[in-house]
Chain A
Amino acid sequence: MTATRKLAGLAIFLLAVFVLVPALIAATGRKDLYYTLTSVALLSIASAGVWLTFYIGRINMGQGAFALMGAYVAAVLVTRYGMSFWWTLPAAGLFCALASLLIGLPILRLRGVYFAMVSLVLTEVTRLLALAVPITEGAKGITNIPLPGAISLFGITLVPDFSTMENPRIAFYYLAVTLMVIAFAAMYRLVNSRIGHICMSLQQNEELASSIGVNIVHLRLIAFAISSFLGGVSGAAFAAVTQSVYPSSFTVTDSVNFMLNCFLGGLGYVFGPMLGTLTLYFGWNLLFQTGEFQLLIYSSVMILLMLVLPNGLLSLGEGRRKG
């Protein structure tokens, strides 16, 4: 793909999410879609993290743990210490990145399904920790989290206080897609950098990569930390949107879903997790009027998709180009 085509693609995408989608929503009056798309954007950020760990050859089923951690860090900082929401976003991300370094050091040695399982157990451990640790308020959860405040620079209000808005959902939508664009831009940059290429080689053969002098332990830790950072940011933003956090806010189911999003979109494509999240999350919603048959239809479509496109939705474009 040439540079101009890439730029054009980027411009179209930005136009779509920042202008076209809100315009369409305004035209059709489907205001509920703001929350749906906000969720998709935030969940796809967490999925992007999972995708990155796939990229270094690890099946990550622990992203729910970091999303939950991030949500609690943000909630505690806002409600207990009165910190501004805008600072809690990076704070939650950094906390999760640090936590993931500590956890990752021993468990990143594991491979394949062993890593998958340990990370799954990590999700459950985090949930139980949230129930047991005093600062999280245990089973009662943290509720009534205030909406994000204003951002001003030199006395000029850049972002107004969310609670003064007529519909904060719209603001959350812009916030979520902005975060998503930043996250995926960074991912794209990373994957196409020298480090990205080395990661790719890790995925194929760790022994070989280490024999040519790559410090794979460091690399894996960094990738896992970035992944967890994204999970934390996503969780923190969700806490602000729903204004509450419970130990059950992110569970094993979410961890598995993050992973499924990556599979569905396609493990070989940076934007796979975004499309996968959109399809899986939005698909469930589209089917809500089918009542008791919802899960049946949903799972049948998933099986069919897998049979037709086992390498993910984005492999569709690739096949066409080849043929």
Chain B
Amino acid sequence: MEQVIANGLYLGAQYALIALGLTLIFGLMNVLNFAHGQMYVLGGFITYAIYGQLGLPFPVAVLASGVSLAVIGGLMERYLFRTVIRRSHREESTMLLAAATAFFFDAVILLIFGEKQRGVPKIVKGVFHDFGIILPYDRIVVAVVAALMIFAFILFMKYSRTGRAMRALAQDRVAAQLMGIKVDRYTMIGFALGAMLAGVVGGLLVSITGVNSGIGGPISVKAFLMIMIGGAGVVGGAIAGGFILGMMESVGLTVLREYGDVTYLVIFAALMIFLAIRPNGLMGKPWG
């Protein structure tokens, strides 16, 4: 059982990190970014190319993933999403744009990096094995980095000028504008930050789970689930959602395995019931 909980915690940390960027973008712009998973994949491939192929140090590669994605995210916001949001009658229309960019990234990634699953050499070798828990050291490193990043992100949102401006934006766009916050600028920064998070996580996790060109879509969907559980657009919600989903999977897979193929059926059905009872997730805004 200790092992199951350790698995769940690790998976949760991984999930929470994936969900952070998505929830940030959603909170700021009400855009459900279908391309989030593709951004994660792109980050993974950049790290793969720099660390795995060119042999540069791992942190450099992860940094490069983050910076590249931040640039891409900023450009996407400036030239695609801003235009469409300004011109469309209903803000849901951005979903089609997001989906189209997701397909676009899928196509580009497949053309550049090919169809195969890629992996990089382990960053730390060896396995921790004590107290009834087995955990490879590289997972421990990633989990610690994940926790630090989540912590740093919360601090940033709470105390930095940019973070405060973005929170104000997320709460009430019009009021924020009236208060003299440069809405366009902070929206772009927010989108870039969200994309950067996706890229960094992709880069970080390529050392554990590798990456392939087809997983973008499924990762987006999983990240959606997490932010729904916690409550869309709220940083705390994304973190909670990530850990809850991680724990549900870990415990569910162990407890329900005797009942056969229904494990995931039960997990998803439980999720639907949960959302039916709490229509805004754990701590979401009372609207969507």
| A positions within 8 Å CB-CB of B | 54, 59, 106-107, 109-118, 120-122, 124-125, 128-129, 131-132, 138, 252-253, 256, 259-260, 263-264, 267-268, 292-293, 295-296, 298-300, 302-303, 306-307, 310-312
- Docked pose: A263 CA to B34 CA in angstroms: 15
Would you give the 0/1 interface string for B250-288, flagging 1 where the beta carbon is closer than 8 Å to chain A?
A: 000000000011101100110111011001110010011
The reply to whether A128 and B268 form a contact with Cβ atoms under 8 Å apart is yes
The reply to whether A260 and B275 form a contact with Cβ atoms under 8 Å apart is no
- B-side contacts of A109, CB under 8 Å: 276, 279
The reply to whether B106 and A295 form a contact with Cβ atoms under 8 Å apart is yes
- A-side contacts of B100, CB under 8 Å: 299, 302-303, 306
Given A296-B104, A312-B93, 20 more pairs with CB closer than 8 A:
A107-B275, A110-B276, A111-B279, A113-B228, A114-B228, A114-B232, A114-B275, A114-B280, A114-B288, A116-B288, A121-B271, A125-B269, A259-B95, A260-B99, A263-B95, A267-B89, A267-B93, A295-B110, A299-B100, A311-B90
- B-side contacts of A298, CB under 8 Å: 103, 107
The reply to whether A113 and B26 form a contact with Cβ atoms under 8 Å apart is yes
- Docked pose: A134 CA to B273 CA in angstroms: 24
- Docked pose: A77 CA to B19 CA in angstroms: 43
- B-side contacts of A115, CB under 8 Å: 288
CB-nearest residue of chain B relative to A296? B107
The reply to whether B276 and A118 form a contact with Cβ atoms under 8 Å apart is yes
CB-nearest residue of chain B relative to A139? B261
- A-side contacts of B232, CB under 8 Å: 112-114
The reply to whether A306 and B84 form a contact with Cβ atoms under 8 Å apart is yes
CB distance from B200 to the nearest CB of A (A): 24
- Docked pose: A113 CA to B106 CA in angstroms: 23
CB distance from A280 to the nearest CB of B (A): 10
- A-side contacts of B84, CB under 8 Å: 306-307, 310
The reply to whether A113 and B288 form a contact with Cβ atoms under 8 Å apart is yes
Which of chain B's residues 165-185 have a Cβ closer than 8 Å to chain A? none
The reply to whether A303 and B101 form a contact with Cβ atoms under 8 Å apart is yes
- Docked pose: A132 CA to B256 CA in angstroms: 14
| B positions within 8 Å CB-CB of A | 26, 32, 80, 83-84, 87-90, 92-93, 95-97, 99-101, 103-104, 106-108, 110-111, 217, 221, 224-225, 228, 232, 260-262, 264-265, 268-269, 271-273, 275-276, 279-281, 284, 287-288
CB-nearest residue of chain B relative to A122? B272
- A-side contacts of B107, CB under 8 Å: 293, 295-296, 298-299
- A-side contacts of B273, CB under 8 Å: 106
CB distance from A158 to the nearest CB of B (A): 41
Pick from B97, B228, B276, B287: contact of A303, CB under 8 Å = B97
The reply to whether B275 and A128 form a contact with Cβ atoms under 8 Å apart is no
- A-side contacts of B287, CB under 8 Å: 111-112
The reply to whether A307 and B93 form a contact with Cβ atoms under 8 Å apart is no
The reply to whether B103 and A120 form a contact with Cβ atoms under 8 Å apart is no
The reply to whether B92 and A263 form a contact with Cβ atoms under 8 Å apart is yes
CB distance from A57 to the nearest CB of B (A): 10
- Docked pose: A31 CA to B40 CA in angstroms: 43
- B-side contacts of A114, CB under 8 Å: 228, 232, 275, 279-281, 284, 288
CB-nearest residue of chain A relative to B260? A132
- Docked pose: A267 CA to B90 CA in angstroms: 8
- A-side contacts of B269, CB under 8 Å: 125
The reply to whether A121 and B80 form a contact with Cβ atoms under 8 Å apart is no
* Given known A-B contacts A303-B101, A310-B84, A118 and B95 have beta carbons under 8 A apart: no
CB distance from A77 to the nearest CB of B (A): 24
- A-side contacts of B284, CB under 8 Å: 114
Centre residue among A256, A298, A310, A312 by max chain B CB count within 10 A: A310
CB-nearest residue of chain A relative to B261? A132
Q: 10 closest Cβ contacts across the A-B interface?
A: A112-B288, A299-B103, A310-B88, A302-B100, A263-B96, A106-B276, A295-B107, A299-B104, A296-B107, A128-B265
- Docked pose: A299 CA to B34 CA in angstroms: 13
- Docked pose: A122 CA to B265 CA in angstroms: 10
Pick from A111, A124, A259: contact of B268, CB under 8 Å = A124
- B-side contacts of A129, CB under 8 Å: 265
CB distance from B94 to the nearest CB of A (A): 8
28 inter-chain pairs at a CB distance below 8 angstroms, sorted by A residue, are A59-B95, A107-B275, A110-B275, A110-B288, A114-B279, A114-B280, A117-B225, A121-B268, A121-B272, A122-B272, A125-B265, A125-B272, A128-B268, A138-B261, A256-B99, A263-B93, A268-B89, A293-B107, A293-B111, A295-B107, A296-B104, A296-B107, A299-B101, A299-B103, A302-B103, A303-B100, A303-B101, A310-B97
- Docked pose: A259 CA to B106 CA in angstroms: 19
- A-side contacts of B280, CB under 8 Å: 114
- Docked pose: A120 CA to B99 CA in angstroms: 15
- Docked pose: A176 CA to B222 CA in angstroms: 35
Centre residue among A114, A118, A124, A260 by max chain B CB count within 10 A: A114
- A-side contacts of B32, CB under 8 Å: 113, 116
The reply to whether B276 and A128 form a contact with Cβ atoms under 8 Å apart is no
CB distance from A51 to the nearest CB of B (A): 12
- A-side contacts of B97, CB under 8 Å: 303, 306-307, 310
- A-side contacts of B272, CB under 8 Å: 107, 118, 121-122, 125
- B-side contacts of A306, CB under 8 Å: 80, 84, 93, 96-97, 100
CB distance from A150 to the nearest CB of B (A): 40
- Docked pose: A46 CA to B126 CA in angstroms: 53
- Docked pose: A144 CA to B191 CA in angstroms: 50
- Docked pose: A107 CA to B278 CA in angstroms: 10
The reply to whether A59 and B92 form a contact with Cβ atoms under 8 Å apart is yes
